[in-house]
Amino acid sequence: EAGVAQSPRYKIIEKRQSVAFWCNPISGHATLYWYQQILGQGPKLLIQFQNNGVVDDSQLPKDRFSAERLKGVDSTLKIQPAKLEDSAVYLCASSWGDQNSPLHFGNGTRLTVT
Amino acid sequence: AQSVAQPEDQVNVAEGNPLTVKCTYSVSGNPYLFWYVQYPNRGLQFLLKYITGDNLVKGSYGFEAEFNKSQTSFHLKKPSALVSDSALYFCAVRDDKIIFGKGTRLHILP
């Protein structure tokens, strides 16, 4: 099966600019996750979708971050305006949705904010 | 609230020796436990999981993990380490959401 696709792989922007990341999950996976991984730390959940509905966005900084899942398939994560502390790798993952199912991760987008 | 701890930032093991990467957890209900591996510039890859049943779980690439309910631990093990096992390893616990540990860098010395 094709894996989780993410683009771009790398992005460099200046603070206060905006940026968007795209994710295409594994076909048929109902649940989609966006994680933020800061260097030296484990992934932190930003938002979880079940089909096209939001299940958990409790750790999403909603004043600057937004995400949507179009028609329950692809997803876009946006940051506007970016801050220096947003420099991180943004990982998208998908799964079948039940508690037994492991997550399948994309290769991530490395964001550098200068 | 659920939590997961990986007490070691780095583990060094000589090739051919057994390896252990430690993980302890805290959940309110029955734990769903996972191990993932991350190679440079890649996403996390699933290694193995514990849901219920046998305390010793076998996974990919010869790895296994031992679930210990009394010690709330889920340590990752391999009988004989390979240089190619060098990577970043994450333990994760699932209760109402999936929480990852901070990761342990495994360095296998040739």
Percentage of chain B lying above the pLDDT 90 cut = 83
Give per-residue pLDDT as tens, B29-63.
888 999 999 998 888 999 999 998 899 999 999 99
pLDDT for A1 equals 66
**Considering only CB atoms, which chain B residues are within 8 Å of A105?**
36, 43-45
Q: What is the mean pLDDT of residues B98-106?
A: 95
Q: What is the mean pLDDT of residues B3-17?
A: 97
**Considering only CB atoms, which chain A residues are within 8 Å of B94?**
99
Percentage of chain B lying above the pLDDT 70 cut = 100
Q: What is the mean pLDDT of residues B84-89?
A: 97
Q: Quick one: pLDDT band at residue B73, thresholds 50, 70, 90?
A: very high
CA B88 and chain centroid, separation: 10
**Could you tell me which of B10, B7, B40, B36 has the C-alpha nearest to residue B109?**
B10
Ordered per-residue pLDDT tens for chain A, 114 residues: 689 999 999 999 999 999 999 999 999 999 999 999 999 899 999 999 999 899 999 999 999 999 999 888 999 999 999 999 999 999 999 999 888 899 999 999 999 999
**Considering only CB atoms, which chain A residues are within 8 Å of B36?**
103, 105
pLDDT for B30 equals 85
pLDDT for B22 equals 98
State the nearest Cα–Cα gap between A42 and chain B, in angstroms. Answer: 4
Does A42 sit within 8 Å of B90, measured CB to CB? yes
Nearest by CB to residue B97, choosing from A56, A91, A108, is A56
Regarding predicted confidence, which is higher, B28 or A17? A17
State the nearest Cα–Cα gap between A100 and chain B, in angstroms. Answer: 7
Contact (CB, 8 A) for B22 and B4: no
Which residues, numbered 62 to 81 in chain B, qualify as contacts with chain A under a Cβ-Cβ cut-off of 8 Å? none
Q: Which pairs from B80-86 meet CB under 8 Å and 24+ separation?
A: B80/B16, B80/B17, B80/B18, B81/B13, B81/B14, B81/B15, B81/B16, B81/B17, B81/B18, B81/B19, B81/B108, B82/B15, B82/B108, B83/B15, B83/B108, B83/B110, B84/B108, B85/B19, B85/B61
pLDDT for B2 equals 84
Q: Which among B8, B27, B37, B44 is the top mutation candidate for probing chain A, defined by the most A β-carbons within 10 Å of its own β-carbon?
A: B44
How far apart CA A101 and CA A69 sit, in angstroms, is 20
Q: Is A24 on the interface with B (CB under 8 A)?
A: no
